[in-house]
Structure 1
Amino acid sequence: MANNYKNSMTRFQFSTLALLVGSAFMTAPVWAEEQAAEQVKDDEVALEVIQVTARKTAENLQNVPVAVTSIGAADIAERGLSSVIEVAQYSPNTTLQQSRGTNSTLTAFIRGVGQEDPLWGYEPGVGIYIDDVYVARPQGAVLDILNIERIEVLRGPQGTLYGKNTIGGAVKYVTKPMSGDTEFDANFAVGSYNQRDGKLTGQIPLVDNKLYLGFGYANLQRDGYGEYLTSALPGQDGENYNKDLQAFRATLEFRPSDNWFMRLNYDKTNDKSNSKGGYRLLPSLLTDAPVPDSVYDSYTSLPTWNKVETEGVSLTVDWNINDEFTFKSVTSQRENYSPTNIDFDNTSVIIFDVPAIYDDEQFTQEFQLNYNSDNLTLVSGLYYYTADSCGVFDAILGVLGTSLGAPGLTREVGGCSNSDSIAAYSQGSYKLNEQWSVTAGLRYTKDDKEALVRNGLIFANVYPESGWVPGYVRPDGLTTPVVLDDEESWSKVTPKLGVEYQHSDDTMFFASYSQGFKSGTFNPRATTAEPAADPEDVDSFELGVKTDWSRTLRVNATLFMLDHKDRQYISVIPDPTDASVLNQRLGNVGRSEATGAELELTWAAAKGLDIYANLGLIDASFEEAISYTPAGDPIDISDRFSVTNTPETTANIGFTYTSETSFGDMVWTGSYGYRSKYSLTELDNLLVQDGYGMLNMGVTWYSQDGHWTVGLHGKNLTDEEYLVGNYAFVTPDATQPSGYRPGLGGDNTLIGYYGAPRTVTLNVGYRF
């Protein structure tokens, strides 16, 4: 009965959206023309033309047959957006959140596809890009806004042009090009929780019209939203959810002639914010610490220090060979080092503590040869990627070890997952006539991966390095046994096929089929020499329309359906030598489906007034998840799985109003975003975040001389509390007073992590 109700509601939602979109298509031209006659006088009211590089070449957003949201630098500043995660509010069916443990680790989901576990060796489902450079790991992927031109969110598999690990989509962080003038910008911000931010950016022509140097520096400070109430370590009580981050970027641009462009980029980020402590949703059975009064307060037995260091360098070379051919080379090297403290139980006692180190390196090289004529546009390239992703974590079960008569108990897991990948791709669009065009693309990828996993028990409380806690010295030669040392190769061809119909100068319809894949991988927590899991596949179908009516109303809508196959999950498998022993192994045991719709609207309602809105609907569920009985018989446990971080409804409505005064321009902004309920854990989810809304308001003043900017921005003004992550190591049991039976570590470990509370920020900027 519940399933029938859910299906009926889903059909009702989609039918309602289809009706609304259809009505808009039928009535909007007439309505827009009437509005245009009243509003458009001498082109005073008109929407801006938005340029994007979703297909790796600069195009008008309205001519790109891809579901893409683009937020430009002006909108980012006037809406007070401070990091890439805030863009999710303006892109339907998109989730970008700070993960558990650190401020800089990203949880990214688009259309129900993403990465729940940020452990090394696992591959993401949403690709993150900085100026065409792929960022392979979620650590350090929460990018703060600095020297930004725009952020693009590409929804749906991008396997042809962007390759593996973009099966949900891609997020592109595009920095500003040089203007050629000498510029210096200083920006300072103060706000709630003692926020103290300073940013300095600028550019200097070293050789006029030839060589330019640009730079950006940010120092971002904020006290915690909460605090660590107690700690077993002296001097370790401190702030929780604080911010202590420094970022630096330097750019050298060289234009030796009109046909050549070279850019050398360097960036470094050092996030020394404290580790994030979770909120205990249940009282501890092993300590007398009560549930904290604030969701941002916590307890810990680990150090509160934390660190995420990222560093990268890239070289881009563009050569306009002639009017039709262009060549592009993008070379990059990136590193990440993150020692982190995660207290799973969040008490002052060592019940379930996990200190860890993540250490990653990657090198990429891409060559593009692009062709553009009146009827044919072609993007082709070769791509090489090599990366080492390593780490170690110590799951310290101190209390359990003591109960067993040992000084402590630690399961130490460490190792590396090293990857090499090569690819060749080509995608082109051909105009059949003035109205019809077709798009076709193909990408061949070959992956080689080798992995080493160490896993074993140590009867002591062990930390990754000496000095991790005061006075701790790690014994020399202490290692756990190698349980897996293997390598595997895969190859994959991912196609794209589409057709576009230009109904008029203002309206384009498109339909497409595309495929993406997520790389195969070894289990980074393996306990035996288990085989690797094969790649995941996503097949996606889209039907969409992009419209600009009378230059005042833009309506873009997409219907989509995707089939996510061979999903990689841990499954229980009987030991072939002893049926009573059940092993946990990583395998391709899951399959999910999603159908949905997306609507984005922008209306130039009057001179200076723009109104925008978006709506996303999605029905995503697991159709298959295979496990095994002790006798070795397969069973489907898909009813125990949830598609996480994917609300059935995402919506946002907002406005931008510009008023001219005698003392400068005032830009007023406001938005209200809504997210319906969503799950936080894929298997046996215990926590569901109920639907909530987020209200943001702001005002920005620009001085008449163009030097000064002052902005006041309020976010989450209704102070909503909403979960962005959790740890659940309990089992539901109605016979227990708490409703749960203790899990690993012997305590009621049900922990929640929360998004930011209400904040108000005052920004003051000066351009020299």
Structure 2
Amino acid sequence: MNRMTISTMSMALMANVSLIAVTPPAVAQQSTEAASDFLLEEIVVTARRREESLRDVPVAVSVQSGDQLDLKGAADITALQRLTPNLTLQVARGTNSTLTSFIRGIGQQDPLWGFEPGVGLYVDDVYIARPQGAILDIFDIERIEVLRGPQGTLYGRNTIGGAVKYVTARLGAEPQAKVRANVGSYGQHDLIVSGSAPVGDRLAVGGAFALFNRNGYGTNHFTGNDTNNKDAWAGRLTMEFMPSDQLFFRISADRTEDNSNANHGHRELAVPAAFSVPPFTLAPFSLDIPADAFPVQEDVYDTWAGLGDTNEVITQGISLLAEWTLNEHYTIKSISAYRDGVTHGDGIDFDGTPAPLLDIVAPESVYEDHQYSEELQLLIDHDSWSGVVGAYYMDAVAQGAFDTVLALAAAAIPNVPTPNLTQGTSGRVETKSYAVFADIDIDLSTRWHLSLGGRWTRDEKTGTVFKANYLGLGSPISGGTGILIQPLTDYTNQLAFEEFTPRVSLAYDMSDTTNIYASYSRGFKSGGFDMRGDAFATPATMEGYDPETVETFELGFKGSLFNNRLSLATALFHASYDGQQVTSQQINATNTGVVSFVDNVGKSTIKGAELETTAFLTDTFSINVTLGYTDAAFDEYLAYVSDGTGFVLTNVADDRVFQNTPKWNGNVGFSYMVPLDSRGSVNIHGAMSFRSATSMFETPVDEINQDAYQLLDLSVVWTSAGDHWRVGLHGRNLTNTTYRTGAYNFPGLAFGDSVIGFYGPPRTVTASIEYRF
């Protein structure tokens, strides 16, 4: 197809150039050339599973190359939140490696096993089913693409809000390697080594290895351990084989081990006075200390948590990409992958004190999962039409177990028969997913282009859940000796969900460098089973919860103006969201302890706009702006509300808001390249990102809601002539702004007023040195 034709030379250049509409080009790579030389290059992406110019993709897509993220000092994929409109990518509460993601108000905060996210994460087109271990460090990558809006036609698996694509580069034809070291605030010291080399004419091998270490931002004053530290390593091995000009094989294996201590969070309310006599004598270590000895701590990274320091997350996988070029028009592609993961830890301290007011005690393996996936694609490229037709299969299992210890809290509740109450929970869910899809782009004329797509998906799920109350501290689930006093949930059930998700768009090329498009797309995320469900309090939990769907209309413009001096990408969208899956947690009025249930809460409407623009004021100086606006409101919100004797389904839409969805967000930045002739060049990049006020949950809570805030970043990077040496200094959050990224909310005497806030990183400064050869 004419609009998709690109040269091999352009492809090589594209691997090192960021989306013009997001950030200025990485001109520091070749200091002897003017920035204007780079403005002529098109950006090639694979957002629609085939290589094409970004301008031709009728989808809101933002792209950051690995080199651009390096120049900005980005450490992991959460840095994309500052650079991409209407995107939330944050470290989930209580962890250092679990991902919370939202796009245009759609996502999923609850990281419980079996509860699938609303934003799909893909690594080299392999779907990552679990959020644990998904805080991917940025090293040895080509680019990251963020697709906003439903992507059900091509990606299907839980892309109702959008998709984040982590793309690694193919191995080069020449030997290459690089070594990088980072040192910085809080004792940071990292080492990253990567390289590749051909072995004969048809085989190439490559790999990367990274060590990440940093002291904690705070301290657990009970155990003396760090909180919010970094102790992880990651590695990847790749082999590429071309037995002929028509065949290509790529096998990749990766493993990450993260031994960072858990992020305990900060207690926002003081321990209730009711626990002051005797305050903590029921704790296993019998602390005879008054409650006011544990006030709200001044440092938001400090804690008094009695457990939860131990944390280990291991993720690993292997994938095989096979491509067979039948002729100039047709290519067959196969993507086979297996992944597994496990999380070890001693639990989560929800109350932030040494005593078990509200603790989650876990067995040795808290979470475990594995998945196998297979995708077949037929890529089509003709003069007037192109596209992809394919099929997808996934078999995944996720399981876990934990105890909720309510020892002292239970003692403070009237009519509870025991001061030591433990609620044990375990569950397992198996998912089998089948899909067929097609996405075709047709040139109606030289300027008009029609795109049609559709995907049929069937998800089959088998859920097993057990939950019971025990007398004593700890149930047999976590290795404890508690005595069973009340079974709550014990069932195995099966559900199947089918959905057809279409997409249609019409694009018009206003000129050779600008176009407009209008699109309609439908997204789908299947239902499932609540692994925490209490069948005694809410018997309907055994029937599972229903799918959620969204229908989105989008109008967009993409292009460059004034001889490529100004690039612009805008989008307006309107979405109808139905059956939104929301987790609610309450104390049960019938005194069975903590009640958690997943509701399909009703309907909502989401409207908004996005802007990404870069102005090249000179060949070496540019200003870029991104802006996102989201107006999300519930039209109907059906929730179980306690009436003192049980729970009644009630419409509470007027009292609910969208979580993790600021109305306004954006970034204003500049890039200035200083040529130094034979001594290389210096690239200076500064940016101010901002987010308006945000609610952590659908029910606003003043103690943990986040007010509007701004973050200031500045990077200065010198690159030698020939691109062999690179030395950088990167400052992040230079004003040391304090801001929340998550929370737990268990207020009241029953839970010991356990209202906990989790905070983003403080001011950090990192120096880096890299040698490429």
Confirm or deny that 1:297 pairs with 2:290.
Answer: no
1:495 to 495, 502, 519: 502
Equivalent positions of 1:296-445 (< 5 A) are: 296-340=301-345, 341-356=347-362, 357-400=366-409, 406=418, 408-445=420-457
How far 1:211 moved relative to its partner? Answer: 0.8
Who is 1:551 aligned against? 564
Confirm or deny that 1:54 pairs with 2:47.
Answer: yes
How far 1:539 moved relative to its partner? Answer: 0.3
Task: Describe the superposition over 1:157-197 as per-residue Cα deviations: whole angstroms up to 9, x where unpaired.
Answer: 00110003101100000011111222221100000001010
Who is 1:36 aligned against? none
Structure 2 CA distance for partners of 1:608 and 1:398, relative to 1, 3 Å: same
Who is 2:283 aligned against? none
Contact residue 501 and residue 508 of structure 1 kept, 8 A: yes
Confirm or deny that 1:228 pairs with 2:220.
Answer: yes
C-alpha RMSD of matched pairs (Å) = 2.6
Who is 2:742 aligned against? 725
Who is 1:87 aligned against? 80
- What is the DSSP-based 3-state SS (H/G/I as helix, E as strand, rest coil) of the residue aligned with 2:446? coil
Structure 2 CA distance for partners of 1:48 and 1:688, relative to 1, 3 Å: farther
Q: Please report the TM-score for the alignment, with normalisation by the length of structure 2.
A: 0.87
- What is the DSSP-based 3-state SS (H/G/I as helix, E as strand, rest coil) of the residue aligned with 2:524? strand
Q: Which amino acid aligns with 1:490?
A: F
Contact residue 259 and residue 320 of structure 1 kept, 8 A: yes
Q: What is the rounded CA distance, in whole Å, between the counterparts of 1:80 and 1:628 in structure 2?
A: 45
2:754 to 749, 756, 764: 749
Who is 2:573 aligned against? 560
How far 1:295 moved relative to its partner? Answer: 0.5
Who is 1:738 aligned against? none
Who is 2:288 aligned against? none
Q: What is the rounded CA distance, in whole Å, between the counterparts of 1:399 and 1:582 in structure 2?
A: 14
Please, which moves more after superposition, 413-422 or 703-712? 703-712
Who is 1:11 aligned against? none
Q: Please report the TM-score for the alignment, with normalisation by the length of structure 1.
A: 0.88
Q: What is the rounded CA distance, in whole Å, between the counterparts of 1:633 and 1:90 in structure 2?
A: 43
Q: Which amino acid aligns with 1:643?
A: F
Who is 1:17 aligned against? none
Contact residue 214 and residue 230 of structure 2 kept, 8 A: yes
Q: Which amino acid aligns with 1:638?
A: A
Task: Describe the superposition over 1:727-753 as per-residue Cα deviations: whole angstroms up to 9, x where unpaired.
Answer: 1111xxxxxxxxxxx2443x1211100
- What is the DSSP-based 3-state SS (H/G/I as helix, E as strand, rest coil) of the residue aligned with 1:520? coil
How far 1:83 moved relative to its partner? Answer: 0.3
Q: What is the rounded CA distance, in whole Å, between the counterparts of 2:115 and 2:390 in structure 1?
A: 26
Q: What is the rounded CA distance, in whole Å, between the counterparts of 1:297 and 1:57 in structure 2?
A: 48
How far 1:479 moved relative to its partner? Answer: 12
Contact residue 642 and residue 685 of structure 1 kept, 8 A: no
Q: What is the rounded CA distance, in whole Å, between the counterparts of 2:252 and 2:453 in structure 1?
A: 30
Contact residue 271 and residue 308 of structure 1 kept, 8 A: yes
1:153 to 146, 159, 167: 146
- What is the DSSP-based 3-state SS (H/G/I as helix, E as strand, rest coil) of the residue aligned with 1:148? coil
Who is 1:652 aligned against? 667
Who is 2:621 aligned against? 609
How far 1:611 moved relative to its partner? Answer: 2.1
Q: Which amino acid aligns with 2:157?
A: K
- What is the DSSP-based 3-state SS (H/G/I as helix, E as strand, rest coil) of the residue aligned with 1:606? coil
Please, which moves more after superposition, 40-49 or 716-725? 40-49
Q: What is the rounded CA distance, in whole Å, between the counterparts of 1:432 and 1:464 in structure 2?
A: 66
- What is the DSSP-based 3-state SS (H/G/I as helix, E as strand, rest coil) of the residue aligned with 1:689? coil
Contact residue 571 and residue 589 of structure 1 kept, 8 A: no
Who is 2:689 aligned against? 673
Q: Which amino acid aligns with 1:680?
A: M
How far 1:588 moved relative to its partner? Answer: 2.2
Structure 2 CA distance for partners of 1:752 and 1:664, relative to 1, 3 Å: same
Q: What is the rounded CA distance, in whole Å, between the counterparts of 1:572 and 1:657 in structure 2?
A: 50
- What is the DSSP-based 3-state SS (H/G/I as helix, E as strand, rest coil) of the residue aligned with 2:532? coil
Contact residue 483 and residue 526 of structure 1 kept, 8 A: no
How far 1:711 moved relative to its partner? Answer: 0.6
Task: Describe the superposition over 1:409-431 as per-residue Cα deviations: whole angstroms up to 9, x where unpaired.
Answer: 21111110110010000010111
Structure 2 CA distance for partners of 1:41 and 1:720, relative to 1, 3 Å: closer
Q: What is the rounded CA distance, in whole Å, between the counterparts of 1:479 and 1:627 in structure 2?
A: 26
Who is 1:196 aligned against? 189
How far 1:608 moved relative to its partner? Answer: 2.1
Stretches of structure 1 lacking an aligned partner (at least 5 in a row): 1-27, 29-39, 231-235, 467-471, 731-741
How far 1:705 moved relative to its partner? Answer: 4.2
Who is 2:726 aligned against? 709
Q: What is the rounded CA distance, in whole Å, between the counterparts of 1:264 and 1:692 in structure 2?
A: 44
- What is the DSSP-based 3-state SS (H/G/I as helix, E as strand, rest coil) of the residue aligned with 1:118? coil
How far 1:545 moved relative to its partner? Answer: 0.7
Structure 2 CA distance for partners of 1:143 and 1:408, relative to 1, 3 Å: same
Structure 2 CA distance for partners of 1:646 and 1:322, relative to 1, 3 Å: same
Q: Which amino acid aligns with 1:394?
A: D
How far 1:63 moved relative to its partner? Answer: 1.1
Who is 1:63 aligned against? 56
Who is 2:520 aligned against? 513
Equivalent positions of 1:685-700 (< 5 A) are: 685-686=701-702, 687-700=704-717
Q: What is the rounded CA distance, in whole Å, between the counterparts of 2:220 and 2:392 in structure 1?
A: 46
Task: Describe the superposition over 1:600-645 as per-residue Cα deviations: whole angstroms up to 9, x where unpaired.
Answer: 0022221122321111111011111114676997531112322111
Q: What is the rounded CA distance, in whole Å, between the counterparts of 1:300 and 1:465 in structure 2?
A: 22
Q: What is the rounded CA distance, in whole Å, between the counterparts of 2:492 and 2:749 in structure 1?
A: 31
Contact residue 436 and residue 500 of structure 1 kept, 8 A: yes
Q: What is the rounded CA distance, in whole Å, between the counterparts of 2:651 and 2:417 in structure 1?
A: 40
Contact residue 469 and residue 484 of structure 2 kept, 8 A: no
Please, which moves more after superposition, 282-291 or 693-702? 282-291
Task: Describe the superposition over 1:313-337 as per-residue Cα deviations: whole angstroms up to 9, x where unpaired.
Answer: 1000111110100111000011111
Equivalent positions of 1:516-595 (< 5 A) are: 516-528=523-535, 530-549=542-561, 550-569=563-582, 585-595=597-607
Structure 2 CA distance for partners of 1:584 and 1:98, relative to 1, 3 Å: closer
Contact residue 355 and residue 464 of structure 1 kept, 8 A: no
Q: What is the rounded CA distance, in whole Å, between the counterparts of 2:596 and 2:305 in structure 1?
A: 30
Who is 1:271 aligned against? 258
Contact residue 220 and residue 245 of structure 1 kept, 8 A: yes
Confirm or deny that 1:461 pairs with 2:466.
Answer: no
Please, which moves more after superposition, 582-591 or 537-546? 582-591
- What is the DSSP-based 3-state SS (H/G/I as helix, E as strand, rest coil) of the residue aligned with 1:645? coil
Task: Describe the superposition over 1:493-536 as per-residue Cα deviations: whole angstroms up to 9, x where unpaired.
Answer: 00001111111111111000000111111121122252121110
Q: Which amino acid aligns with 2:354?
A: S
Contact residue 656 and residue 667 of structure 1 kept, 8 A: yes
Q: What is the rounded CA distance, in whole Å, between the counterparts of 1:672 and 1:626 in structure 2?
A: 39
Q: What is the rounded CA distance, in whole Å, between the counterparts of 1:498 and 1:54 in structure 2?
A: 15
- What is the DSSP-based 3-state SS (H/G/I as helix, E as strand, rest coil) of the residue aligned with 1:389? strand
Confirm or deny that 1:642 pairs with 2:657.
Answer: yes
Contact residue 109 and residue 646 of structure 1 kept, 8 A: yes
Structure 2 CA distance for partners of 1:307 and 1:606, relative to 1, 3 Å: same
